[in-house]
Copies of this chain bind each other. A is one copy, B any other.
Amino acid sequence: MTETPPAAAAILSQALPYIQGLRRQTVVVKTGGRALADDKLARQIAGDVVLMHSVGIRCVLVHGGGPQISELLDRFGKASEFTEGHRVTDAESLEITRMVLVGKVNRDIVREINRHGPIALGVSGEDLGLILAEQRDPELGFVGNVKAVNPYIVEHLLAEQLIPVISTIGADETGQAYNINADVVAGAIAGAVDAVKLIYLTDLDGLLEDLSDPDSVVAEATDTRIEALIEDRSIQDGMLPKLEGCLNAVRSGVGSVHIINAMTPHALLVELFTDQGIGTMITMSR
């Protein structure tokens, strides 16, 4: 490390107020299944979350697991059929999905974090009534929408300075489980726990102005702009649930939502503790 003291001093002077400002604030981080499938990247994300936690930020992790689910379904010889971006899910697929998310992807994140100390706990939407679900569309089978969030366990773990890692299986009033899109859940939870920030770690550099130009990242956008984009459908595939989550979050009082590239080294730290903005930031219009 050859950083000269003056530079370090400048970076620290800049970072400390951010660190102060975020202490005891809640930040929800959503990571996709693809980033988690890369062991080294998964380890770096876990490490950054531990650092955030170490300076007093209340961190919540919400994870997806698309590629992992597809792989297990394949092994079971079940073809995945998608309708408007949602995987049609019969009872057996749901059971497999639940096993993968709760019994594998979630476990792997918890393990990576707990290598730094016993601070992470896996939670699924069925635990303590965290996510009340309802069926989205009979044709999709056991794919759910978020009907309500009961943030009790999440807030409780945060108050104990622990890190909840959330799988997005919800249950309806009868106990029937549903698979719910993790981007959408992340937005609902961020709103429910009064997060100041919701950060989507994706495989894109942000929201693109022009889908064909990867350099056309939108630096900032308001909820009205996002709403227009959703109506235009002029957005990347897979970005739609993120934008729904964004809208839900900022309209529930979350200060800002960020869509950033999980591949940027220590993307979370740069986003949170420097003046440099990366990716796309969405806030409420005034």
Q: Which segment of A29-37, A119-127, A247-255 sits at the interface?
A: A119-127
* Known contacts A102-B103, A269-B9, A115 near B175 by CB under 8 Å: yes
Is B19's CB under 8 angstroms from A54's CB? yes
> Shortest Cβ distance from A17 into chain B, in angstroms?
6
Quick one: which of A81-108 are within 8 Å of B by CB? 95, 98-104, 107
Task: Tell me if B13 and A51 are in contact (CB < 8 A).
Answer: yes
Interface status of A276 (Cβ within 8 A of chain B): yes
Q: Are B98 and A107 in contact (CB under 8 A)?
A: yes
Set B7, B12, B104, B269: member contacting A103, Cβ < 8 A: B104
Say what secondary structure dominates the interface of chain A: helix
Question: Does A14 reach chain B (CB closer than 8 Å)?
Answer: yes
Contact with B along A125-136 (1 / 0, CB 8 A): 011111000000
Contacts of A1 in B (CB 8 A): 10, 14, 275
Q: Contact flags (1/0) for A258-286 with B, using CB distance below 8 Å?
A: 00000011100110011110100000000
- Chain A: interface size category: 35 or more
Least CB distance, A107 to chain B, in whole angstroms: 6
Assess A123 versus B126: contact at CB under 8 Å? Given A1-B14, A111-B177.
no
**Chain A stretch 146-201: residues in CB contact (< 8 A) with chain B:** 150, 152-153, 156, 160, 162, 169, 171, 174-175, 177
Name which residue of chain B comes closest to A23, CB basis.
B56
Q: Which residues of B contact A9 (CB under 8 A)?
A: 265-266, 269-270
Using Cβ atoms and an 8 Å threshold, which residues of chain B touch A103? Answer: 98-104
Residues of B within 8 A of A11 (CB): 3, 7-8, 11-12
A244 beta carbon closer than 8 Å to chain B: no
Q: A99-B100, A128-B118 are in contact. Are A265 and B152 (CB under 8 A)?
A: no
The answer for the CA separation of A111 and B124 in the assembled complex, in Å, is 11
A75, CB-defined interface residue at 8 Å: yes
Q: Is the CB of B114 within 8 A of A128?
A: yes
The reply to whether the CB of A61 lies closer than 8 angstroms to some CB of chain B is: no
Decide if A5 is an interface residue (CB 8 Å cutoff).
yes
**9 pairs of A and B residues whose beta carbons are closest in the complex:** A103-B103, A118-B129, A99-B103, A20-B54, A9-B266, A102-B103, A99-B99, A16-B51, A118-B128
